[in-house]
Amino acid sequence: MKKLLMILIVGLLLSSCASAKKSFDGKDRPSSRGALQVIDSQLCGADGNPVILRGISGYGVSVSERYITDETFHDLAQVMGVNVFRMAMYTYGMGSFGYCTGGDKEKLYQLMMDGVEYGEKNDMYIILDWHILSDGDPNHYIEDAKDFFDKASKQCADKKNVIYEICNEPNNVEWNDVKAYADVIISIIRNNDPDSVIIVGTPDWSSRVDIAADDPLDYPNLLYALHFYSASHKQESRDNVKRAIDKGLPIFVSEYGITASTGNFPYDIDEADLWIEFLEENGISHVMWNFSKVSESSAAIKGSVLKTSGFEYDDFSTSGQWLIDMIKNRSANEQK
């Protein structure tokens, strides 16, 4: 009788773990999932259950200050339905001063911290994105990166909703040089915030996760960035990603678009749907580019919309409405 009871208990435990592995319940927010972690290449909550984050990236804090408000973040969470927001901070000037090229470091840093606070208030995870792009090699401004991430990881060490993205899109740089940069910055962050989740960019504008999979870094709670734009990256790109997944690489799509990689026309919504299906099947989180009203098809807000809060569905562009619909459908399916 005792043996039978033991078999029954073990069976129940195994079945609950198995169902937990597959079950996303549409509640993947800091209030229900807490501090994130990476278990067996899968992003999970504090409870060890898998988490999928579905969100949007800011356009660049130096030119988006008007959207870094409690009211705007309320709409991000409640009107768009996102559970993660990416605070992109350009290191090199992008039509305005970058953090490392003449920008007001104190002001930009404070905007990033405001984003963490408003994210916490509105139950969203926040990615602090060190948005290298035309600077190519993250070592270019490594001294600024060391200062920024040391300060930020000290200030955010007790936060449950912060993810550190240490180099948006390494390009024209060897993977070994990116790894050397990552070793320095990861050590600084983990010295202040030991269990933090960190995203490291991969070669060729974060498109080559296969290169990282062949020669990964060796740290816990690490994710590798994959970026794609559906009108530019198709099945061949997904096949490449699958090879990295099969090698056990933990991946996070910290930027994608339903447009060309220019951030502009054409759309490819059919391909975007195929990408989302692929990511969701593999438990990979995804963050769309971008929350702005710039005159590019990747911008989520219609160019004619001047408001910064009180958004409604019709205020959003084709990209913005596609994102809202996708998140709504995916979250609803999880709660069935």
Has 120 been annotated as catalytic?
no
Structure tokens at 19: 């169902």
Q: Residue 221 or residue 298: which is nearer to ligand IDC going by CB? A: 298
**Cβ 130 to ligand IDC, closest distance in Å?**
12
Q: Residue 89 or residue 327: which is nearer to ligand IDC going by CB? A: 89
Cβ atoms 79, 325 nearer than 8 A: no
**Cβ 134 to ligand IDC, closest distance in Å?**
6
**Cβ 139 to ligand IDC, closest distance in Å?**
18
Q: Residue 77 or residue 128: which is nearer to ligand IDC going by CB? A: 128
Catalytic residue among 169, 271, 280, 296: 169
Tell me the C-alpha distance between 284 and 103, whole Å: 34
**Cβ 11 to ligand IDC, closest distance in Å?**
48
Residue nearest ligand IDC by beta-carbon distance: 263
Tell me the C-alpha distance between 92 and 71, whole Å: 29
SS3 state at 39:
strand
For 45-187, strand residue ranges (E) read 54-58, 84-90, 125-131, 162-165
Interface residues toward ligand IDC, by CB under 6 A: 94, 133, 168-169, 205, 227, 229, 255, 261-263, 289, 294, 296, 298
**Cβ 284 to ligand IDC, closest distance in Å?**
18
Catalytic residue among 65, 71, 236, 255: 255
Dihedral (CA of 263, 267, 268, 269) sign: positive
Cβ atoms 239, 207 nearer than 8 A: no
**Cβ 62 to ligand IDC, closest distance in Å?**
11
3-state secondary structure 282-324: CCCCEEEEEECCCCCCCCCECCCCCCCCCCCHHHECHHHHHHH
> C-alpha distances in angstroms, 228 versus 214, 235, 239?
20, 11, 13
Reported as half-sphere exposure (CB side, CA atoms, 13 A), residue 305 has a value of: 21
Has 169 been annotated as catalytic?
yes
Exposed/middle/buried for residue 157 (C-beta within 10 Å: 0-12, 13-18, 19+): middle
Structure tokens at 246: 């099969």
Q: Residue 122 or residue 206: which is nearer to ligand IDC going by CB? A: 206
Q: Residue 38 or residue 294: which is nearer to ligand IDC going by CB? A: 294
**Catalytic amino acids?**
169, 255
